[in-house]
Structure 1
Amino acid sequence: MKTSACFALLAAFCTTAAHAADWSDTSLSWRYGTKFSEPYNGEDINKHVINFSNVSGYKYGKNFFSVDFLLSDSHDPSAVGASSGAHEAYALYRHTLDLGKVTGANLAFGPVRGVGVTGGFDVNSKTDAGYNSKKRMLVLGPTLMFDVPGFLDVSLLALRESNAPFNGFTSISTPRYTYKTHAMLTAAWGIPFTLGVPLSFEGFANYIGTKGRNEFGGPTAVEINVDMQVMYDLSPAIGAAKNTLKVGLEYQYWKNKFGNPESVAPGATAKTPMVRAEYHF
């Protein structure tokens, strides 16, 4: 699909989404781990990650917007020879249009309560020694919404991704390069449960196909990114409204990060335990 056509479809989604929200949840969170990794680095990296997120629903669907601010230690330097760590901002937006609500038809079947179409974008900017990523990506595809406590959405999305990195070692800028359009099977979930205390199992999982040659002519690999957490709702203990303050443990498994094959890019696979706290308002 041409980029212009993708923009037109996403613009239509955004127009549809511009209705007053029936419900909304905004959160600020912090997470920290010491086992992050970056392709072609191979070092264990400490990172603090500050996140701002908002999810909202309206008559015909829902919106999700998230921005991560990632602060690395000196093992992921901000420039060649720098003692300070790299900084990254990664923004993501998704809009899911519920086709059953739009058409008035009952599209439920088996464990699926609804069918939708999801579109959106990813944008990032990072200051680091070697790559200085400037990712731009459009996504579009069908979504199944499963009938579970909380939510479980599974989507098959087409990805149109480009980048225009700057190599700090060689001081060479690469013109914006668009990869081959490729597919992502993705799931996102938030499922409450109790074990004597209020808990929730939350996260996402992405299986991303290869995207052809990279901007330097090298191969790309299947990418797997699973990020999940068990969160404890601390709110009742401090007299706050339900789901106001959560703390918990998080784990991320990221293989062939950004499509870089581990076989040629040491550090492209990370296994990262984290602690996490989030405040909802």
Structure 2
Amino acid sequence: MDIKLSAIACATLLAFGASAAHASDWSDTSIGYRYGEHFGEPANSTPIAKHIFSFTHADGYKYGSNYFTVDMLKSDANDPENNSNGGAQEFYLVYNHQLSLAKTTGIKVAAGPLSDIALSTGFDLGTKNNAFASNARKIIVGPTAKFNAFGGWTDLSLMYYKETNNNGIVGKTVNFDAAYRIAGAWAFPIETGFIPLNFNGWFTYTGEKGKDGFGADTKPETWMDAFLMADVGSLAGKKNTVWAGVGYEYVKNKFGNDHATTAGANTSSVMGKVEWHF
């Protein structure tokens, strides 16, 4: 990670520490598991099954909110570990902080469905033990428009995006060009009269980020995960503890690889998912 990336990551962690020093207005922590059989990886034409275990925490405090999640992904043998016949393992961490304009300045921002505007900062850290040996370091910063409607919420962000990563095939670290990212996240409750449902997810659209480690031009990347979850814990009188449902992941030009020339650069996979909240 270069000096600029380190400085922004440290600043974000300091913001997290400062917010943690205050009592949270709300918090939610969960352990999750999801599974799908048609994930793609660039330069691999075979669909890949993955077991994905996650730990997620979100909280809100006086001036904003924090979001943290770490995934452990275990592929099947179609996505092998380097120098092994076993499936590769990947760890991926995401942290985001939102600083509320309304809460920090007292300025009234809400208008219609718009509830607030926030400054979002965050970073991703990832590593994988396949031959490519990715070592992702990403930072984002930019404004987020926050909306409340239909009993749920939606965030829409325009971000500055910067990434460095490792390319184990050519044996070098790649410092990608800065790019823009459009990002969104949502959660909407659905009342059925029998069991509470929730439709939630996120998407990102990341612009071209210059040359990759092979010298090829990168393409814009689209990534979306969406889930329809049922509060199955409520059937046993334990509301909002155990959720289960189905989801869908769609990726186009994964990691900036051109799907027209690179096999496996797209993903279209149905997933099963379960979460335990505590």
Hey, what does 1:192 align to over in structure 2?
189
Q: Write the distance in 2 (CA, Å) between the matches of 1:4 and 1:64.
A: 19
**Conserved 8 A contact 2:144-2:155:** yes
Partner of 1:33: 36
CA–CA distance in structure 1, aligned partners of residues 206 and 225 of structure 2: 14
Mapped partners of 1:28, 1:8: distance in 2: 26
What CA deviation, in whole Å up to 9, does each residue of 1:51-75 have, x standing for no partner? Answer: 1000001011000000010000000
| 8 A Cα contact 1:233 1:247, kept in partner | yes
Alignment of 1:214-253 (within 5 A): 214-240=212-238, 242-253=239-250
8 Å contact 1:99–1:116 — kept in the other structure?
A: yes
Q: Could you tell me whether the CA contact under 8 Å between 2:95 and 2:123 is conserved in 1?
A: yes
Shift in Å at residue 11 of structure 1?
A: 5.2
Match of 2:71 among 68, 73, 76: 68
Structure 2: unaligned runs, 5 residues or longer:
none
- How many Å separate the matches in 2 of 1:178 and 1:20? 39
Q: CA deviation at 1:109?
A: 2.2
SS at match of 1:44: strand
Q: Secondary structure at the match of 1:147?
A: strand
Which region of structure 1 is more displaced relative to structure 2, 18-27 or 5-14?
5-14
Query: Which deviates further from its counterpart, 106-115 or 134-143?
Result: 106-115
Contact 1:17 1:95 in 2 (8 A): no
User: Is 1:126 aligned to residue 128 of structure 2?
Assistant: yes
Q: 1:208: which partner in 2?
A: 206
Whole-Å separation in 1 of the counterparts to 2:262 and 2:148: 40
Tell me the distance in 1 between the aligned counterparts of 2:264 and 2:176.
22
Matched, 1:267 2:264: yes
Contact 2:9 2:123 in 1 (8 A): no
Q: Which moved more, 1:85-94 or 1:214-223?
A: 214-223
Over residues 17-40 of structure 1, what are the superposed CA-to-partner deviations in whole Å (9 max), with x where a residue is unaligned? 233322111000110111111000
Give 2:34's aligned amino acid.
Answer: R
Is 2:49–2:76's contact at 8 Å kept on the other side of the alignment?
A: yes
RMSD: 1.7
Q: Provide, for residues 63-96 of structure 1, a one-character-per-residue CA deviation record: whole Å limited to 9, x for no partner.
A: 000001000000000024x220000000000000
State the 1:8 CA deviation. Answer: 6.4
Answer yes or no: is the 8 Å Cα contact 1:13–1:119 preserved in 2.
no
Alignment CA distance shift 1:100-1:177 (3 Å): same
| Residue 250 to residue 59, structure 1, CA distance change in 2 (3 Å) | same
2:276 corresponds to which residue? 279
More moved, 19-28 vs 132-141: 19-28
Letter in 2 for 1:57: G
Which string of whole-angstrom CA distances, capped at 9 and with x for unpartnered residues, describes residues 141-186 of structure 1? 000110122321111111110012322xxxx521x32111101100
Q: How many residues are matched? A: 273
- The percent identity for this pair of structures is 39
Q: Report the equivalent of 2:145.
A: 144
Q: Specify which of 47, 50, 58 is matched with residue 47 of structure 1.
A: 50
Question: Are the equivalent residues in 1 in contact too, given 2:259–2:265 (CA < 8 A)?
Answer: yes
Letter in 2 for 1:136: R
TM-score by length of 1: 0.92
Segments of 5+ residues of structure 1 without an aligned counterpart are none
Question: Would you say the 8 A contact 2:167–2:213 is kept in 1?
Answer: no
Equivalent of residue 85 in structure 1, options 66, 74, 87: 87
Aligned to 1:178: 175
Q: Separation in 2 of the partners of 1:274 and 1:252?
A: 8
Give the CA deviation at 1:14.
3.2
- Using the TM superposition, give the Cα deviation of residue 132 of structure 1 relative to its aligned residue in structure 2, in angstroms: 1.1
Q: SS at the partner of 2:46?
A: coil
TM-score by length of 2: 0.93
Q: 1:138 to 1:245 in 2, by over 3 A?
A: same
Asked whether the 8 Å contact 2:141–2:161 carries over to 1, the reply is yes
Between 102-111 and 49-58, report the one with greater CA deviation: 102-111
User: How far apart are 1:255 and its partner, in Å?
Assistant: 0.6
